[in-house]
Structure 1
Amino acid sequence: MSPAYERLALAVSGDAELLALIERLPPAKRQPNLLFGVVRLLGGPVEDPAAFHAYVLANWPAIEAEIRRRATQTNEAGRCAVLLPLLAALPQPLALLEVGASAGLCLYPDRYAYRYDRQLLGDGRPVLDCALTGTLPPSRVPTVVWRAGLDLNPLDVTDADDVAWLDALIWPEHAHRRARLRAAANLVAADPPLLVRGDLVDDLPAVAALAPSGATLVVFHTTVLYQVPQRRRTAFVELVRGLPGNWIAAESSRTLSYDGLPDPPGAGFNNVLALDGKPLAWAQAHGQAAAWFG
């Protein structure tokens, strides 16, 4: 959670001047995180609602222009920690294809290091911490021979502006996530993945067909499908079930529903981790923890 953004959201909801500006935007652009992220990107204040109000009124043309050309695209490398137990258990080597890849930071689970409680795995940077219950931590990192991402607006970690936007989308209190973003972006910039601009239904088969033979294709996505209309979401699920290889989803239970789910183990466990449509664990959104039940 972000106390600063909670204060801003409450203030803006009752601010007639700011609401009048926001209502000029297309409905899809009236997102609190988009507005707050743009103000952070431009160097504006997000801690104090009064200062935020004054800054937005004084700088609205620049803010509006950025809002219209940007989209919220969180790319949290920490999510690899909850994917790793599944990826490490699949037949190796792997060909990874991420839907909604943003800048592709989650396409490098083999390059990061992991700390599951006190057990350290791998020797890369950053080190991703995850509290894992209900299953043993993996004993190895996967072998990845091919990696590709599909996104409507892929970002480039070799572009300072794109990295600055990813940084601006991280909540102001989360300094550890900003440090993790920078470390992961540096790693990925040294060996960028194939990132394809395209739609998760129309373009997925063509990208999947590029995967090398002899590797296990793994199509995966984390906290992406809530942005996809229900009809397209259904079409995607039908499509991905028919592809060769495996499908890993880490999405809210409101986005992808499953029968017979146990109650989540506590606050923050909003995502369900599933393999080929079978739910296996509850997970926190940034990879901080996963509780296995399957």
Structure 2
Amino acid sequence: MTTADRYVEFASREAHGVSPAYERLAHAVARDDDLLALLDDLPPARRQPQLLLGVVRWLGGPVDDPVAFRTHTLAHWPAVRAAMLTRAVQTNEAGRCAALLPVLAALPQPLALLEVGASAGLCLYPDRYAYRYGDHLLGAGEPVLDCALTGTGPPTTRPEVVWRAGLDLNPLDVTDPADVGWLDALIWPEHTHRRARLRAAAAVAAADPPELVRGDLVDDLPALAARAPAGATLVVLHTSVLYQVPPARRAAFVALARALPGHWVSAEAADVLAHPALPSPPDGALHNVLALDGTPLAWMRSHGQSAHWFG
């Protein structure tokens, strides 16, 4: 897939109907030979639309007009390039917990959560957030995470979490304003509700910071998993992470996740973790496959805003 194709796909499958600003920008980049030449000089993993757009926002550039975006990005390319080589797409969307909750609440309690690709660890607190499934409210306080569930009923309890830890090549510190600022920059421009949700979730996590370990998802996972307390159900989970992992390394992680005691909860795109005979997604938008121990359960939107159970 060419870089132009990646930006067109992002515009049409991810940003369409979700972020008009990013849809316009991604289409504009896909048609811009100058920007494409600069992007093609980066390693393939660093050409992501989300990374370019997030970095330009983070550096104070305009993202509301394609002409202004192009002018600014070309003029400031050395700084944009340097940030794209050192930063990573680490969207830490607490809203995903709402789609994960029906799975987590149904497992044997209490849980020991271990998130791979944890970023700042905001998805390690499903027991601390409030949820709204249509007119069904679960929990109290902020943030309140909304999710449209179809094909299954809403959970009636939150999980009991007695241990939480994360593994990431570059963990982010939820108590560091610079790291939280990068997480803010990764939120799409129109999503003021997600920005407020980030602040509320960061406050929850900062009050009891998670244990985050810098490490590799294969080499360092067994040692961290071994630290989970006896008597708790180990749950290794990840959301929208494995697309950044080379296929051979991805396969090694899957084999390891299957071999560990406890359970494995994943939410990845269907072309990243293949599952045979999936039903068609509910619409043309990008959906992840929510799975438990490798068995697909539902189509899930990438920010947790909806989950469509297979029945």
TM-score by length of 2: 0.91
1:179 alignment counterpart? 196
Residue-by-residue CA offset, 1:174-232 (whole Å, 9 max, x unaligned): 11111111111111111110101111111110110010001000001111111111111
1:270 and 2:287 correspond: yes
Matches within 5 A, 1:256-267: 256-267=273-284
Shift of 1:269: 5.9
Contact 1:99–1:219, Cα closer than 8 Å, also in 2: yes
Shift of 1:75: 0.8
Counterpart in the other structure of 1:139: 156
| In structure 1, distance between residues paired with 2:71 and 2:27 | 16
Q: How does 1:87-126 map to 2 (within 5 A)?
A: 87-126=104-143
CA distance in 1, matches of 2:167, 2:27: 35
CA distance in 2, matches of 1:278, 1:17: 44
Deviates more, 1:169-178 or 1:104-113: 169-178
| 1:235 maps to which of 252, 257, 267 | 252
Is the contact between residue 45 and residue 244 of structure 2 (CA under 8 Å) also seen in structure 1?
A: no
Question: Which residue identity is paired with 2:202?
Answer: A
Give a deviation string over 1:45-89, Cα, whole Å, max 9, x none: 011111112212322222222222111111110000111111111
Distance 1:58 1:86 in 2: 48
Structure 2's unaligned 5+ residue stretches are 1-14
Provide the C-alpha distance between the structure 2 equivalents of 1:239 and 1:46, rounded to a whole number of angstroms: 41
- In the alignment, what sits opposite 2:262? 245
CA contact (8 A) 2:138 2:156 kept: yes
* Residue 42 (str. 1) matches residue 59 (str. 2): yes
Note the 1:1-294 alignment, pairs <5 A. 1=15, 2-268=19-285, 270-294=287-311
User: Are 1:154 and 1:195, in contact at CA under 8 Å, matched by a contact in 2?
Assistant: yes
Give the Cα–Cα distance (whole angstroms) in 2 for the partners of residues 27 and 6 of structure 1: 21
CA distance in 1, matches of 2:28, 2:261: 49
- 1:270 corresponds to which letter in structure 2? H
Provide the rounded CA distance (Å) in 2 between the counterparts of 1:28 and 1:219: 25
Equivalents in 2 of 1:213, 1:202: separation in Å? 22
Classify the secondary structure of the residue corresponding to 1:249: strand
Aligned residues: 294
- Secondary structure (helix, strand or coil) at the match of 1:280 reads strand
Q: Share of identical aligned residues, percent?
A: 72
Secondary structure of 1:255's partner? Answer: coil
Divergent runs of 4+, >4 A = none
Which stretch shows the higher mean deviation, 77-86 or 249-258? 249-258
Paired letter, 1:60:
W
Measure the CA separation in 2 of the matches of 1:151 and 1:130: 26
Q: Secondary structure at the match of 1:61?
A: helix
SS of equivalent to 2:304? coil
Question: Aligned AA for 2:61?
Answer: G
The separation in 2 between residues aligned to 1:265 and 1:53, in whole angstroms, is 35
| Conservation of the 8 A alpha-carbon contact between 2:21 and 2:63 | yes
Letter of the 1:134 counterpart: G
Is the CA contact 1:269–1:282 (under 8 Å) kept in the aligned structure 2?
Answer: no
Task: Please give the alpha-carbon distance, in whole angstroms, between the structure 1 residues aligned to 2:272 and 2:33.
Answer: 32
TM-score normalised by L of structure 1 = 0.96
Aligned residues of 1:85 and 1:137 also touching (Cα < 8 A) = yes
